């Protein structure tokens, strides 16, 4: 999983993720927005479920983060719809709306993000 941190002209941090992990980047850009307190909460939750059967979920405005002892899933909240809403012959494109990764990989990105934010 490759990622890049940038600052826009206002100084806000923007995250770009490799193909297949775009939703993770969107989660940082839309939900975290530099909020280290949210990252602290998520990190603490991740560490509490590693090696267990438990899971934890945080629903934000645009994205939901779900994690268990092994995996993290970021899903756009707009994916909550029934299949009957799509016209026949059409399919829903969700490649940039859903990302999965391992907990340890996720925690490495969180740590790198935190470091980048604090480098002002």
d(CA 1, CA 105): 8
Q: Where are the domains of the chain?
A: 3-83+95-117
pLDDT digits (tens, 9 = 90+) for 18-64: 999 999 999 999 999 988 999 999 999 999 999 899 999 999 999 99
Q: In what order do the strands lie in the sheet with 71-76?
A: 55-59, 63-68, 71-76, 98-102
d(CA 6, CA 3): 10
Transcribe 4-62 into DSSP letters.
EEEE-TTS-EEEEE-TT-HHHHHHIIIIITT-HHHHHHHHHHHHHHTTSS-EEEEE-SS
Q: Decide if pLDDT at 12 tops 70.
A: yes
pLDDT digits (tens, 9 = 90+) for 91-112: 444 557 899 999 999 999 999 9
């Amino acid at each position: 999983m490759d990622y890049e941190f940038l600052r826009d002209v206002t100084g806000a941090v923007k995250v770009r993720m490799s193909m297949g992990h775009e939703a993770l980047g969107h989660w940082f850009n839309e939900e975290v927005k530099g909020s280290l307190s949210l990252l602290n909460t998520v990190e603490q939750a991740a560490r509490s479920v590693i090696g267990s059967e438990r899971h934890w979920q945080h629903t934000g405005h645009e994205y939901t983060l779900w994690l268990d002892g092994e995996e993290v899933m970021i899903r756009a909240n707009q994916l909550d719809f029934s299949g009957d809403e799509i016209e026949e012959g059409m399919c829903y494109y969700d490649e940039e709306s859903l990302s999965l990764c391992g907990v340890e990989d996720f925690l490495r990105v969180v740590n790198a993000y935190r470091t980048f934010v604090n480098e002002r």
